[in-house]
Structure formats: structure tokens, C-alpha cells
Amino acid sequence: MGRERRAPRKRSADEGFEADAGSEAAARGGGAPGGPRSRRTATGLAELVPDRDHPRAWSLLLDGAPQSHVDLADPTRLGFEYQRRLGHLVDLAAEPGKPIQVLHLGGGALTLARYTAATRPRSRQQVAEIDTGLTEWVRAELPLPTGWQIKVRGADARAVLERTPEGSVDLVIADIFAGARVPAHCATVEFAALAARALAPGGRYAANVTDGGALAFARAEVATLLAVFPEVALVADPAVLRGKRFGNLILAAGQDPLPLAELGRRVATDAALGRLEHGAALAAFTGGAGPLTDATAVPSPAPPPGTFTGAGR
């Protein structure tokens, strides 16, 4: 899961980290050779754990929770289920290979930004990641290729969204976590309205949230998006939707019809089981839950103990 960590800011929100390959890791061949490594940033313990099956692939864990997976040899390979589903939405944001403008809210290891740059060359991307120490470490250990137009801003995701010009981006991806929870101020009607304002005509909003059990947070978040966008869809593991396990739910929204048929086909071909909900079924999924607002929202629930035992290792 992607995360936003609340930390003392080391840079102005208007400063950024431009994509380049000039780090020490890039000079020695790129990509954190050897075994696991870790660094404590301002907001927790970050760990890079090697993928046993892919020699240049790594999982990033933050305080033990799996955040993202990066394959330096093939940035189009998305190792985590929720990232593959977000990748489908990147693929369907425009004609194949066409450059797009993307705002990523939550950065981590920049997995989706790397994927977009590899599949849609010349795309312009901005990433909001509040933990500048994490960004610096990830860029040193997992360097970005020269020429990718990715700017990372060390700022709160909502603050960056508030400053995003109206109608300026084709895709907003919200993968925002404080610890292992979606922060309340990034899950409200007011936040969704800011995302809708930032989107160009035909643009789409995508979000990763986590929940389990009765799915009270997920149901309210669907109601929240339905209060702002006329078109909303959800993709999740059927076991998560039945409350059998804690997990990720991917939401997609827009002002125009979503590519539901193609999204459904892609979800059906994934290795992990997934179910697509939309229309009347999705409205019923809310179970009467009301939209979240800045005045009433609470963070998403914490994962149950043991959820991430052995994750990414």
C-alpha cells in the first residue's frame, strides 16, 4: 500500500527532486545490490527487501507494512496486486503509448510513476511525497533513468492537490497512507472535489484504500466519490468484499463513462481474483453509508495484527 507519512518538511513544497540517474547507486550499476537494507526516516523504518525471483527487484516496507514493489530491470512488471489494478487504469487513461499528465498523491518507491514513464514515454508526472528523506534514499538505491519527467515534491498530498491548476492533469492517483491508514483529510468530499477540479476533460481519478470486516470505511468512501463524480467503479478481491480478509480496494471515478468492459477484461486476466462493481450494485454496496466530509471523516482502520507478517520477505 502506498503511504503518506507526516513528517517535518525538509524542503519547500515548491522544491522538487527531478528524475536523473546521477546517484551513487546508478554509478555502480543501479539498484541496491546485495541483501536487505534499511534506513530510518523522519516517519518510520524503511526497508528494501530483495525479490528472490528477480535479481533487480525490490519490495519497499515501511514499519513492516508492504508499500510498493519495483523491478529496475522491468518497470512495467507490477508485483503487488493493487498496483497492477492501478496500472490497468494508467493503461486505459488514453490511447496506448500516448503521453499523459499524472498527479501521484503518495510516492513511496515511485512504482506507478516508473510504470507510466515506461509505458507512456514523455508523460509529465508530479508526485507528492511528504517524507523527503524516504525520497532521497529510494532515489539513491533505486535510481530513475535519465529523461523521465518525474518531479517529486516534499509536501502533504492535499496541499499539493489544492495548488494543482484546474483542468491540468489527465489522471490523479491517490495512494496515500499515514502509517498503514488512509488519513482522514484525504478521504473526504472536499478532497474528491479538489481532485475533480484538477482533472482535464475526460480525466480520471483513481484511489487505493484498505479495509476489512464490515468495510465501513470503504462503503463511506464509495459514497463520498458518488457525491462528486457521476461515474464510479470499484475493484477488489471477492474475499475482501465479503469481509473475509483485510485488503486493498481500488476506486476509479470520472465525469465521463469509465472503460468498464476493458477494465473488467483486464481484471479477469490477473493472477489474483478480482471483482468489478459499478452502477446499481456499487450503489447498493454503500449500504446507506453517507459521504465523508472534513468535519466527520476518520482515518481508515488499522490492519489487524499479523496482516503483514512475512510480507515482502
Instruction: Count other Cβ atoms within 10 Å, centred on residue 56.
Output: 17
- Side chain identity at 204, as an amino acid letter? R
Grid coordinates representing 207 are 484511489
Query: Residues near 288 by Cβ (< 8 Å), separated by ≥ 6?
Result: none
User: Which pLDDT value is given to residue 3?
Assistant: 45
Structural domains of the chain, ranges and CATH numbers in brackets? 16-285 (3.40.50.150)
Q: What tens digit of pLDDT does each residue of 82-119 get?
A: 999 999 999 999 999 999 999 999 999 999 999 999 99
pTM: 0.90
Predicted confidence pLDDT, tens digits, the chain (313 residues) = 554 433 433 343 344 545 443 343 443 345 555 778 999 997 789 999 999 999 999 999 999 889 999 999 999 999 999 999 999 999 999 999 999 999 999 999 999 999 999 999 999 999 999 999 999 999 999 999 999 999 999 999 999 999 999 999 999 999 999 888 999 999 999 999 999 999 999 999 999 999 999 999 999 999 999 999 999 999 999 999 999 999 999 999 999 999 999 999 999 999 999 999 999 999 999 999 999 999 999 999 999 987 865 454 4
Copy the grid coordinates of residue 67: 508499500
Give Cα 220 distance to the centre of its chain: 19
Burial per residue of 178-206, b for 16 or more beta-carbon CB atoms within 10 angstroms, e otherwise: bbbbbbbbbbbbbbbebbbebbeeebbbb
CA-nearest of 170, 123, 169, 128 to 149 is 123
Q: Is the dihedral of CA 156, 201, 151, 49 positive or negative?
A: positive
CA atoms of 109 and 304, how far apart (whole Å): 24
- Closest by CA to 69, choosing from 303, 272, 312, 270, is 312
> For residue range 168-209, what is the model confidence (pLDDT) as tens digits?
999 999 999 988 899 999 999 999 999 999 999 999 999 999
